[in-house]
């Protein structure tokens, strides 16, 4: 066979071939639980394949099986499983052969760059280590190549940044360093495991564009793992949809978006808020599963906005917050995190606060809660300045303004049962005459947020992320607040769980007339939930308008930049 025919045959074969992959994990000494249940798929050459599904679907476990990174002590791959890369059986390779291949021919970008990069080494050292190990470069050659890689992935001043530590870089820059490390040896397959989940919408757009540009330039294949189908439409050629360790549907990206066959795929597409419509209630997975086809959904459009005639509950005037850092031996440097922020929050309405990381939006929320001490301005709650009052006077307002934090895993005490978590604030603020009455109230709140009463006696680690966020909401409701600050409270959730929490927030607002300060970098979610939107940039408010008006007619260039970066699904 001549070389031309051989090359054609090689190109016709998939780069990666997975057949009947079964992965089990040990739940106790005697029991193994199968989490990936016989999936099969191919990754062609010079192609981006998206692996889509919710948390627990098995998509990350599948990628770790390809990389050979599954823990040996409590996991196993079935002997009938096949993983072939360019015709070579990866599962039959020795540890040394597998280690030599991974990082050189197959590389991976992990979800959280801060835990993937070593904090005690410079980024240049870490990239250079890969080059010296796999490419045989000397330190001088590796440094020169590392600078070129940092420049290729868009790091400003790469000759300087090469000596920076991960903690000295933003989240977007850390992710770019991870990408530089992954492409250092020009791999044939790049696995990107949720590489944009924690990033702002503008940085997310940059990372997506960067991965696609690098794929074309280096003629790589990409396995892109995500739970967000809107992103898939912007980068993928083919899509594999997973649920509970099984492949539910796979096909060309256009076919998946325009004519999905599986109910689960349809549900994933419908769960995410749209920029074009605002349904009364967001669809959830159960609306399309178990024989349902979404026909019984409430198709009414929900109107949002403020007329200016509403009762003002919170009037924030010229709010400022500065942080101070030591500079030199006796000097002090001021960082103005929030500058001259003013807005009015109407009773029973939602103010969305958007902006990139570092814009000051979370600082505004924490300052309103007095978890940061304001350095300027007022926050008038029914005419009383909660910023300037004493701690004793503010005690009466603590129960009236509450906060839901971003991370439901860190905001619940792991040593307390859910019952203890719910009873504690009621005891402190003397809600209910005795514990029996408080327990009854806690049971009712669990039911209200969609959790069974048995949850009362369980611990936080026994619940999923979405369920923990519901518990955090129930804890806030124990005090019957009038204002709820939601700080990125749905950003870490799967789109289906996110839809459930957004529906819950809307139901609670209708029932109790609560006002929300909804802080988020996800502009699609803010468009769906907010009556007014406040755009922040570098600590200042650059635009404030009704939700529909701002999205249809943005006046500030930064707002237009944010809106242009929103993932919009399948591109024409």
The predicted-structure confidence for 286-342, as pLDDT tens digits, reads as follows 888 866 666 667 778 888 999 988 999 999 999 999 988 777 777 788 889 999 999
The predicted model scores a pTM of 0.84
Q: For the chain, where do the domains classified as CATH 3.40.50.300 start and end?
A: 12-105+191-261, 348-372+387-564
Domain 12-105+191-261 has CATH 3.30.450.20: no
Q: 348-372+387-564 sits in which CATH class?
A: alpha beta
| pLDDT value, residue 426 | 92
| pLDDT value, residue 371 | 92
| pLDDT value, residue 482 | 94
C-alpha closest to that of 265 among 280, 250, 276: 250
Q: Which residue has the tokens 């109230």?
A: 441
C-alpha closest to that of 76 among 41, 112, 30, 33: 33
Structure tokens at 462: 């026994």
Q: Which residues of the chain, if any, have pLDDT below 70?
A: 1-12, 114, 198, 290-296, 492, 570-572
DSSP conformation letters of 49-80: EEEE--TTSSHHHHHHHHHT-S-TTTEEE-TT
For the chain, the residue count is 572
Q: Compute the distance between CA of residue 452 and CA of residue 352 in angstroms, rounded to an integer.
A: 31
């Amino acid at each position: 066979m001549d070389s031309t025919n051989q090359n054609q045959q090689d190109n016709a074969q998939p780069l990666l071939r997975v057949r009947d992959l079964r992965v089990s994990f040990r739940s106790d000494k005697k029991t193994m639980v199968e989490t990936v249940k016989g999936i099969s798929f191919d990754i062609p050459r010079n192609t981006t394949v998206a692996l889509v599904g919710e948390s627990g679907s098995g998509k990350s476990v599948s990628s770790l099986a390809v990389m050979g990174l599954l823990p040996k002590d409590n996991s196993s791959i079935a002997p009938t499983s096949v993983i072939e890369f360019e015709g070579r059986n990866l599962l039959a390779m020795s540890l040394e052969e597998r280690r030599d291949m991974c990082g050189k021919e197959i590389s991976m970008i992990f979800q959280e760059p801060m835990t993937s990069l070593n904090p005690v080494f410079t980024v240049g050292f870490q990239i250079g280590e890969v080059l010296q190990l796999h490419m045989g470069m000397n330190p001088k050659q590796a440094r020169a190549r590392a600078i070129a890689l940092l420049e290729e992935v868009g790091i400003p001043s790469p000759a300087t940044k090469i000596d920076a530590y991960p903690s000295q870089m933003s989240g977007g820059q850390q992710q770019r360093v991870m990408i530089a490390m992954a492409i250092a040896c020009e791999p044939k397959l790049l696995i990107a495991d949720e590489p944009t989940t924690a990033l702002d919408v503008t940085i997310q757009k940059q990372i997506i564009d960067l991965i696609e540009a690098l794929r074309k330039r280096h003629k790589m294949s990409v396995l892109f793992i995500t739970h967000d189908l809107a992103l898939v439409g912007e980068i993928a050629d083919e899509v594999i949809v997973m649920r509970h360790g099984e492949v539910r549907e796979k096909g060309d990206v256009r076919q998946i978006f325009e004519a999905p066959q599986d109910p689960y795929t349809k549900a994933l597409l419908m769960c995410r808020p749209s920029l074009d419509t605002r349904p009364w209630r967001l669809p959830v997975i159960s609306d399309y599963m178990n024989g349902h086809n979404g026909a019984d959904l409430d198709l009414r459009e929900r109107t949002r906005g403020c007329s200016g005639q509403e009762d003002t509950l919170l009037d924030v005037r010229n709010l400022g917050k500065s942080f101070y850092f030591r500079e030199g031996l006796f000097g002090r440097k001021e960082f103005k995190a929030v500058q001259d922020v003013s807005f009015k929050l109407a009773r029973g309405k939602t103010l969305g606060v958007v902006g990139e990381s570092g814009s000051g939006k979370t600082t505004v929320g924490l300052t309103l809660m007095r978890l940061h001490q304001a350095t300027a301005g007022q926050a008038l709650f029914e005419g009383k300045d909660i910023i300037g009052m004493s701690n004793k006077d503010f005690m009466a307002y603590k129960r009236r303004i509450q906060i839901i934090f971003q991370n439901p895993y860190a905001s619940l005490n792991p040593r307390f049962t859910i019952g203890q978590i719910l009873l504690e604030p009621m005891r402190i603020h003397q809600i209910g005459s005795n514990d029996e009455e408080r327990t009854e109230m806690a049971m009712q709140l669990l039911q209200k947020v969609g959790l069974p009463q048995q949850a009362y006696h369980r611990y936080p680690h026994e619940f999923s992320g979405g369920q923990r966020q519901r518990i955090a909401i129930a804890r806030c409701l124990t005090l019957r607040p009038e204002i709820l600050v939601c700080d990125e409270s749905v950003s870490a959730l799967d789109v289906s769980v996110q839809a459930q929490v957004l529906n819950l927030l809307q139901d609670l607002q209708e029932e109790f007339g609560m006002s929300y300060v909804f802080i988020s970098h996800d502009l699609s979610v803010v468009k769906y939930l907010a009556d007014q939107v406040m755009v922040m940039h570098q600590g200042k408010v650059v635009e404030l308008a009704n939700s529909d008006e701002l999205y249809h007619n943005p006046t500030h260039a930064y707002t237009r930049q944010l809106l242009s970066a929103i993932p919009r699904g399948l591109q024409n």
